[in-house]
Chains A and B, each alone.
Chain A
Amino acid sequence: MENSLADTGSDTIEQQRMVMTIAELPVDECWRRLAQAPAGRLCFVEAGEPMVLPVNHAVDGHRLVIRTARETTLHRIAVGRSVAYEADALTPVTREGWSVVVRGLIEELTDDDELARARQLGLHPWASGLRDHFLVVQPWAVTGRQIEMRLVDDGGERDG
């Protein structure tokens, strides 16, 4: 996959070599990471331009659940749209980390059983006030990658 992280290379540190490896994460692992990360960024297009909203989320099976209120930007604009949702954990100093992106359609939960189930997810939105609406991202694509640095003891040649 082409993106800012999809690259390999090395930095020379004395006689050892720091090798960066970038691995695509299997889909199940992507969901496991998403479940560990309570927060992410929801991106959608409004009036032809991208918008990004940081929100927290829960994972229910293979879908993302977000809790919100009807009067919020999130509810007013995002419902029914194609969205991309990104969560990550990145460490600038070591340049290690992971990033997962879910693409899908965002819908509101209306079924009583589904709502009861969503209320069990322990999802507390950041913004206070009445938050009696649950949105789900029904995914059609989930991608993720892991970036790691490894020290290799094979001299100082660069291969980047």
Chain B
Amino acid sequence: MAEERTGLVVLEIDECRRLLADAVIGRVAFQAYGSLELLPVNVAVDPDGTVVFRTDESSVLTQAGGQAAVFETDGFDRVTQTGWSVCVRGATREITAGDDPAAGRLLDMSVIPWAPGQRDRWFAIAPDQITGRRIPVVRGAEMGWIPGVVS
């Protein structure tokens, strides 16, 4: 459905989930040490919308555990010639095999970290809210839309 006031198309939840299912990269926003962090990460997204990412001990990303976070991913759909953006908001937790009933499933997901090396800390953002919007081609072209992810 198009938002009359702004012309942006608000995406239905099913379409958000479909776009999320293919996401391999995006950005995670959270607060750490009183500062806003907004970092590109590689992810895998569970069919229920849970966003899984990996990191290591030295990364500020480990500070996302226990915090409210937003995952954003966007791109350009060549078929419909539209730009889109989807956000997942929710609490972030570290996935620990012992006491997380979803751990088996989530730790089995294929998350390929951007940088090689040890990436043995796994985190999940539980999807409290999933929102998305699409920007029609004419408007996108007029406005110089390029997707954040170059493929």
Contacts and interface: CB of A to CB of B under 8 A. Distances in A.
Given A4-B39, A84-B36, A127-B7, 18 more contacts: A3-B61, A20-B115, A39-B148, A43-B36, A50-B30, A50-B36, A52-B72, A56-B144, A88-B27, A90-B40, A92-B151, A124-B142, A124-B143, A124-B144, A126-B135, A126-B139, A128-B6, A160-B116
Contacts of B39: 3-5, 86, 99
A112 B60 CA distance: 42
Given A52-B87, A71-B5, A129-B5, A4 B150 contact: no
A52 B139 contact: no
A50 B29 contact: yes
A5 B146 contact: no
A63 interface: no
Contacts of B81: none
Contacts of B145: 38-39, 56, 126
Interface string B97-129: 000000000000000011111000000000000
Interface in B83-101: 85, 87, 89
B41 A4 contact: yes
Given A49-B68, A54-B85, A90 B149 contact: yes
A99 to B, nearest CB: 5
A44 B35 CA distance: 10
Report the 8 A-B pairs with minimum CB-CB distance, sorted nearest first: A127-B6, A9-B116, A7-B115, A128-B7, A9-B117, A84-B36, A49-B68, A54-B85
Interface residues of B, number: 52
A82 B36 contact: yes
A151 interface: no
A101 interface: yes
Interface string A73-99: 000000000111111111111010101
A59 B70 CA distance: 25
Contacts of A83: 36
A154 interface: no
A38 B146 contact: yes
Interface of A (DSSP majority class): strand
Given A37-B146, A43-B29, A52 B115 contact: no
Nearest to A71: B5
B143 A125 contact: yes
Interface string B4-28: 0111100000000000000011011
Contact of A50 (B6, B31, B150): B31
A15 interface: no
Contacts of B58: 2, 6-7
A29 B10 CA distance: 35
A129 B38 CA distance: 29
A22 B115 contact: yes
B69 interface: yes
Interface string B62-75: 00000011101010
